[in-house]
Amino acid sequence: MQIVEVQDKKTAKEFLRLPVRLYKNEPNWIRPLDKDIEGVFDPNVNKYFRHGKCTRWILKNERGEVIGRIAAFVNDRTAKKNNDQPTGGVGFFECINDQKAANLLFDTGKKWLVEQGMEGMDGPVNFGDRDNWWGLLIDGFDLEPNYQCNYNFSYYIDLFENYGFQIYFKQFTFGRPVQGPLGERLYEKAEIANKDPEYNFRHIEKKKLGKYVEDFRTVYNEAWAHFPGVAEMTPLQAKAIIKKMKPIMDEKIMWFGYHKDKPVGFYINIPELNQIFKYVNGKLNLIGKLKFLYHKIMRTNTKMIGLVFGISPAHQGKGVDGALIMATRAMVQDTYTRYRHLEMNWIGDFNPKMIAVVNQIGGDIIKTHHTYRYLFDRSKKFERMPVRH
């Protein structure tokens, strides 16, 4: 077997084409957009190159056929944050069902990370935001993956764990119908916040999108940047995130909470794009764009995704979470009924407060992903992501 670093158009194309061959008989797999994958590795597109680096490889067998791929990353902002050792990451792993092949891919990523001064690696992760391409699918193989979420063969679990990766944390996806009652506790919390005239809750307006860039960044940093491995969001990153969402955002399902006009919470939902992108076969060329436009006009996507939820710590316990959720409920259940299903992505097992909120919204765990960690010093004690109370 031969490891080849991706350094030209030919190997980049082989990197993209491997999963198309591997998953050709998997009915629930949806081919990611080529431009989304390539964008991760393009310094002109991915702003994480400003404070990190990455590379990728393909693996060929004796006949020259590509049988595996992997990428490795270092994010300087999170490598040492709340870690006992500098930690990088590997991701975009695909491989035939062969432990020796998988081990060679993992060893290649490990070797490169050691050269960058790392002492551990998380995987499979992304050289970018946590809500994209993060975690190995453990259950929910009978369901289609959501946009930019990992879908993989079940045998990948053995490939990772046999190598020595251990569960660092679990990520749950909850699902439920949009219609139907929510937990009584949410109604009670919403009533508390709504009685305070200094709070107000409203969905975004596209014509005022610039305002929400800083509002989003403010709440995100206050609510999330204290978690291990989560870097503080810069104004440039916030602008890029909102700009990326703009073509597909539905302003009626993106809500903010304010206290004296200061942003203190958000509940961001988006339409589930894979319900459209599954028709374009990874290509957003002219034909792909026409197909996208057609399905967008026809409202093919009937699922909404709970993308991110956050409350500034100073306003937690004051009913803000309940008020945001109930405001969204009134919109999607009573006056704007285009969505039939809701999935809430990326609920970490280290965040019991968020799990409690999701349980009040209702629904069941329909997918689980594992983020694994591998310590290069095999004698060092392994510790899972600490629970945040």
Q: Work out whether strand 87-95 and strand 120-123 pair parallel, antiparallel, or are unpaired.
A: parallel
Nearest to 39 by CA among 70, 67, 16: 16
Q: Given this model, what pLDDT does residue 229 score?
A: 67
Residue 146, judged by CB atoms within 10 A of its CB (0-12, 13-18, 19+), counts as buried
Distance CA 172, CA 356 (A): 13
Q: Work out whether strand 136-139 and strand 364-375 pair parallel, antiparallel, or are unpaired.
A: antiparallel
Q: How far is CA 12 from the centre of its chain?
A: 23
The superfamily (CATH) of domain 2-169+371-375 is Gcn5-related N-acetyltransferase (GNAT) (3.40.630.30)
List, in sequence order, every residue forming a beta bridge with 119; answer none if it has no partner: none
Distance CA 372, CA 316 (A): 30
Q: Where are the alpha helices (DSSP H) in 23-130?
A: 34-40, 99-115
Let me know if the fold of 2-169+371-375 is the same as that of 179-339.
Answer: yes
Q: Given this model, what pLDDT does residue 389 score?
A: 65
Q: Work out whether strand 199-203 and strand 341-348 pair parallel, antiparallel, or are unpaired.
A: unpaired
pLDDT along the chain (389 residues), means of 10: 95 96 96 94 93 97 96 92 91 98 98 97 92 94 94 98 98 95 92 94 90 89 77 83 83 94 93 87 80 77 89 92 94 94 92 88 93 96 87
At 268, the amino acid letter reads: I
The answer, as to whether pTM is greater than 0.75, is yes
Question: Is omega for the bond preceding 263 within 30 degrees of 0, making it cis?
Answer: no
Q: Is the separation of the CB atoms in 368 and 330 below 8 Å?
A: no
Domain boundaries, the chain: 2-169+371-375, 179-339
pLDDT digits (tens, 9 = 90+) for 345-376: 889 999 898 898 888 888 899 999 999 999 99
Nearest to 171 by CA among 126, 210, 213, 109: 126
Q: What are phi and psi of 215, to 5 degrees?
A: -60, -45
pLDDT digits (tens, 9 = 90+) for 34-51: 999 999 999 999 989 999
Distance CA 384, CA 23 (A): 32
Q: Given this model, what pLDDT does residue 290 score?
A: 83
Nearest to 265 by CA among 192, 317, 303: 317
- The helix/strand/coil state of 279 is coil
Architecture of domain 179-339: 3-Layer(aba) Sandwich (3.40)
Task: Extract the tokens encoding 46.
Answer: 């991915």
Q: What are phi and psi of 297, to 5 degrees?
A: -65, -40
Distance CA 152, CA 158 (A): 12
Distance CA 72, CA 90 (A): 4
Let me know the angle formed at the C-alpha of 95 by 90 and 99, rounded to the nearest 5 degrees: 95
Residue 313 DSSP code: G
Q: Given this model, what pLDDT does residue 223 score?
A: 85
Q: Given this model, what pLDDT does residue 68 score?
A: 98
Residue 215, Ramachandran bin (φ over 0: left; ψ between -120 and 50: alpha; else beta): alpha
The per-residue DSSP string of 116-155 comes to: TT-SEEEES--SS-TTSS-SEEEE-TTSPPPTT-----TT
Nearest to 58 by CA among 99, 93, 23: 93
- The helix/strand/coil state of 282 is coil
